[in-house]
């Protein structure tokens, strides 16, 4: 970020709280401590927990000052909840140079020897202060031995010693230690509260800034007052001239955030399976400076918000109530199923890491969007595969697909509903730009539906599938495969699905071809039939007899076999 041209305005330092009144959002802690100080029942040990940036270390130092403040006139004899900030102990503690207040980071000093040093020191009275205060940060990092050593001291601490522990991972602190501490959970500061705090501060500093800009900063700071102050500092530095108003757009650009309304546009288009439009939107955002990672994060927040709307209509959050976006979000939430939203969440979560680790995040981001469009409405892959392997007899569960998706999205659903074996043109419209392709069977079915029998036969007999995902297929061709197979397939897939496909050839490996799989299934069927006692009896009785067909009688009683030409009906008559 740009360096601040106004160094006197380092808000984060200027407004670092030095007493409890400056600690915003931690009222519970302040109330409890106030009561304890007032009644003279001050615990021997405090445990401060909370995520990074909520002010644990700051609070620990304020506690140390509260315990040791002697007042401006040096006459105070009791701890106070309102340390003066000017007496020698107050000043030296906030500058981390008070001999009686020791700060230690357990992350770097975890061993028993480090703790032994403390245990030894505990026996001696403070040099100058009222209390010896040991502040141990990240206390959960201490070794087991170190905890045990500490425990003895905690059980019977000398009256002049206080411990203040801080940790981000309270679960890793032994219960034996926890039970001897007064525990405070420092909470993340609510973004609304943080925005109010920033607004008051901006007014005090005579900084003009839009309310929406403050809201953006507060949200980006994720509950940390310190982070919000440094962001505000940066925003001030970013806005060239003194007196200019800091706009939400400027802050958004500074934070690399995408416009929320446009993120919603993208999500709407993806759920409507309009991939080209969604990708075009993404490109616009990217060209305007949006960070692809931030786009995925915003999409995640969008999905989270929509899901919340689903379970609790009227929920507030990512899209501000009353705004146009909020209304659109509500409409979108009504259209999508919880299953679809959950799946979108999973795809985006996975995509988040891919985009973060990608050498070219924008490409990874595009792939995530495409996957989202093609995957969000599908039932879980395992279920889909099973349906297809089962011959697609089981209808697609209604709940899995969006009952009212905003645009026609037939292919995947109708494919598994009608059964891939008997894929008929009637249920696979030729104009299926958003056909979702998940398996080789799907592609063969597409070929059948689009009147490409030669390619279909090739797909069934000559393709040893290595890998398949929307937009990419890799296979090892059978020795007899036509040379043009890969090229033909790429062209046809593009025509049928409306998206570019990369078709690559592997020199070996891959799954058995569809025909081989079918043959194997048939053989298995014959073998199991041959084990039937009646059949065995017949075969034994008539040497030279062989099984030429296995029919599912119960089924054919109901629906007589249809002539179906493509030779893959379950029943087979001997030739
Ligand atoms: Zn003081």
- Assigned token pair, 107: 């992350």
Cα–Cα–Cα angle for 93, 95, 97, rounded to 5 degrees? 65
List the structure tokens of 571: 């029943």
As a whole number, mean pLDDT of residues 378-389 equals 58
pLDDT score for 324: 66
Distance spanning both ends of the chain, measured CA to CA: 78
8 A C-beta contact, residue 81 and residue 68: no
Distance (angstroms) between ligand 1 centre and the Cα of 70 equals 5
C-alpha of residue 71 to centroid of ligand 1, in Å: 4
Tell me, what's the pLDDT at 568? 44
Q: Counting beta carbons within 10 angstroms of the beta carbon of residue 50, is it exposed (0 to 12), middle (13 to 18) or buried (19 or more)?
A: buried
Which DSSP symbol is given to 414?
H
Q: How far is the CA of 78 from the centre of ligand 1 (A)?
A: 11
Which residue do the tokens 């790429």 mark?
490
Q: In angstroms, what is the span from residue 495 Cα to ligand 1's centroid?
A: 77
- How many A from CA of 117 to the centre of ligand 1? 28
Separation of 119 CA from ligand 1 center, angstroms?
27
Query: How far away, in angstroms, is 199 Cα from ligand 1 center?
Result: 29
Between the CA of 137 and the centroid of ligand 1 the distance, in Å, is 23
Q: What is the pLDDT of residue 62?
A: 92
Nearest 5°: the CA angle 265, 271, 272 is: 85
Listed residue (426, 425, 419, 414) closest to 393, CA to CA: 419
CA separation for the pair 338, 75 (Å, rounded):
65
CA distances from 128 to 42, 78, 490 (A): 20, 14, 81
Q: How many CB atoms lie within 10 A of CB 197?
A: 19
Q: Residues 321-335: pLDDT tens digits?
A: 445 677 788 888 888
What distance in angstroms lies between residue 304's CA and the mean position of ligand 1's atoms? 47
What is the tens place of the pLDDT at every residue in 504-519?
A: 888 888 888 888 888 8
The Cα–Cα gap between 43 and 27 comes to 18
Positive/negative CA dihedral, 148, 149, 151, 152:
positive
**Rounded mean pLDDT of 263-276?**
88
Determine the pLDDT at residue 212: 86
pLDDT at residue 265, rounded to an integer:
87
Q: State in Å: Cα 79 to ligand 1 middle.
A: 10
pLDDT score of 433: 40
How many angstroms separate the alpha carbon of residue 461 from the centre of ligand 1? 86
| Closest to 505 (Cα-Cα) out of 485, 525, 529, 532 | 485
Which of the four pLDDT bands, split at 50, 70 and 90, describes residue 569?
very low
Q: Compare 158 and 432 and report the one with higher pLDDT.
A: 158
418-to-378, 388, 395 alpha-carbon distances in Å? 16, 10, 8
Question: Residue written as tokens 């705090």?
Answer: 197
Contact 300, 355 (CB under 8 A): no
- More confidently predicted of 52 and 356: 356
Q: How far is the CA of 80 from the centre of ligand 1 (A)?
A: 9
Tell how far the Cα of 292 is from the centroid of ligand 1, in angstroms: 49
pLDDT digits (tens, 9 = 90+) for 270-317: 988 889 999 999 998 888 777 898 899 889 989 998 998 888 876 666
User: What's the DSSP call for residue 126?
Assistant: P
Q: Span 465-486, mean pLDDT?
A: 86
Contact 303, 345 (CB under 8 A): yes
Distance 476 CA to ligand 1 centre (A): 78
- Distance from Cα 357 to the centre of ligand 1, integer Å: 49
Alpha carbon distance 287, 176 (integer Å): 56
Share of the chain above pLDDT 70, in %: 79
Q: What is the pLDDT of residue 140?
A: 92
CA of 382 to the centre of ligand 1 (A): 66
> Residues of the chain with pLDDT > 90: what percent?
23
In tens, the pLDDT along 190-215 reads: 888 889 999 999 998 888 999 888 98
| Ligand 1 centroid – CA 83 distance (Å) | 5
Given a contact cutoff of 8 angstroms between Cβ atoms, the answer to whether 43 and 28 are in contact is: no
Give pLDDT, residue 383: 58
The 10s digit of each residue's pLDDT in 355-379 is 988 899 999 999 999 999 887 555 5
The count of other CB atoms within 10 Å of the CB of residue 568 is: 16
Question: For the residues 252-263, what does the mean pLDDT come to?
Answer: 76
Distance 556 CA to ligand 1 centre (A): 93
> Cα of 279 to ligand 1 centre, how many Å?
60
Task: Please give the distance, rounded to the nearest whole angstrom, from the Cα atom of residue 9 to the centre of ligand 1.
Answer: 25
Token pair 């609510």 is found at 190
CA distance linking residue 546 with residue 529, whole number of Å: 11
In 3D space, the residue among 53, 30, 18, 6 whose CA is nearest the CA of residue 218 turns out to be 53
Going from the Cα of 360 to the center of ligand 1, the distance in angstroms, rounded, reads 54
Whether the full predicted model's pTM is greater than 0.75, yes or no, is no
17 CA to middle of ligand 1, Å? 14
Ligand 1 centroid, distance to 73 Cα (angstroms): 9
**Amino acid 86: pLDDT:** 92
Phi-psi category of residue 138: left, alpha or beta, with phi > 0 → left and psi -120 to 50 → alpha: left
Query: CA angle, corner 22, sides to 20 and 28, nearest 5?
Result: 50
Q: How confident is the model at residue 434 (pLDDT cuts 50, 70, 90)?
A: very low
Q: In what order do the strands lie in the sheet with 502-505?
A: 463-469, 472-477, 502-505
Check pLDDT > 60 for residue 221: yes
């Amino acid at each position: 970020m740009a360096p601040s041209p106004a160094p006197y305005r380092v808000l984060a330092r200027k407004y670092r709280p030095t007493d409890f009144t400056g600690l915003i959002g931690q009222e519970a802690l302040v109330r409890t401590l106030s009561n304890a100080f007032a009644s003279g029942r001050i615990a021997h040990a405090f445990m401060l927990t909370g995520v990074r940036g909520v002010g644990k270390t700051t609070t620990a130092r304020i506690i140390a000052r509260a315990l040791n403040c002697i007042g401006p006139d040096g006459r105070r004899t009791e701890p106070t909840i309102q340390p003066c900030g000017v007496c020698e102990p107050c000043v030296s503690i906030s500058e981390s140079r008070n001999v009686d207040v020791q700060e230690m980071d357990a992350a770097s000093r975890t061993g028993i020897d480090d703790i032994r040093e403390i245990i030894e020191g505990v026996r001696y009275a403070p040099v100058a202060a009222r209390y010896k205060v040991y502040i141990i940060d990240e206390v959960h990092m201490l070794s087991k031995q170190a905890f045990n050593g500490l425990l003895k001291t905690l059980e019977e601490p000398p009256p002049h010693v206080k411990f203040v522990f801080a940790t981000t991972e309270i679960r890793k602190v032994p219960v034996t230690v926890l039970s001897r501490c007064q525990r405070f959970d420092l909470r993340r500061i609510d973004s609304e509260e943080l925005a109010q705090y920033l607004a008051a501060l901006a007014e005090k500093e005579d900084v003009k800034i839009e309310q929406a800009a403050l809201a953006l900063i507060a949200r980006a700071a994720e509950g940390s007052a310190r982070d919000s102050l440094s962001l505000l500092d940066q925003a001030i530095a970013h806005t060239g001239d003194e007196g200019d108003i800091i706009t939400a757009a400027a802050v958004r650009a500074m934070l690399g955030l995408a416009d929320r309304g446009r993120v919603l546009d993208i999500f709407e288009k993806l759920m409507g399976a309009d991939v080209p439009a969604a990708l075009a939107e993404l490109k616009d955002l990217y060209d305007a400076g949006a960070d692809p990672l931030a786009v995925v994060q915003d999409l995640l927040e969008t999905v989270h918000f929509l899901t919340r709307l689903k379970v609790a209509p009227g929920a507030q959050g990512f899209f501000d109530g009353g705004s146009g976006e909020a209304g659109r979000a509500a409409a979108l939430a009504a259209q999508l199923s919880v299953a679809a939203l959950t799946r979108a969440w999973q795809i985006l979560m996975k995509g988040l890491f891919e985009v973060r680790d990608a050498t070219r995040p924008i490409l990874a981001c595009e792939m995530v969007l495409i996957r989202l469009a093609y995957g969000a409405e599908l039932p879980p892959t395992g279920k889909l595969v099973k349906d297809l392997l089962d011959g697609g007899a089981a209808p697609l569960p209604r709940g899995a697909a969006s009952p009212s998706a905003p645009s026609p999205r037939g292919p995947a659903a109708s494919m598994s509903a009608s059964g891939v074996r008997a894929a008929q043109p009637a249920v696979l419209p030729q104009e299926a730009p958003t056909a979702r392709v998940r398996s080789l069977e799907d592609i063969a079915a597409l070929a059948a539906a689009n009147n490409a029998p030669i390619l279909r036969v090739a797909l069934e007999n000559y393709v040893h599938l290595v890998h398949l995902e929307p937009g990419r297929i890799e296979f090892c061709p059978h020795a007899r495969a036509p040379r043009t197979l890969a090229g033909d397939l790429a062209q046809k897939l593009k025509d049928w699905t409306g998206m570019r496909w990369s078709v690559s050839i592997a020199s070996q490996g891959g799954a058995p071809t569809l025909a081989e799989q079918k043959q194997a299934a048939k053989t298995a069927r014959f073998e199991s039939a041959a084990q039937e006692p009646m059949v065995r009896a017949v075969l034994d009785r008539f040497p030279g007899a062989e099984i030429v067909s296995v029919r599912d009688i119960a089924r054919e009683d109901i629906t007589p076999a249809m002539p179906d030409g493509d030779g893959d009906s379950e029943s087979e008559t001997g030739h």
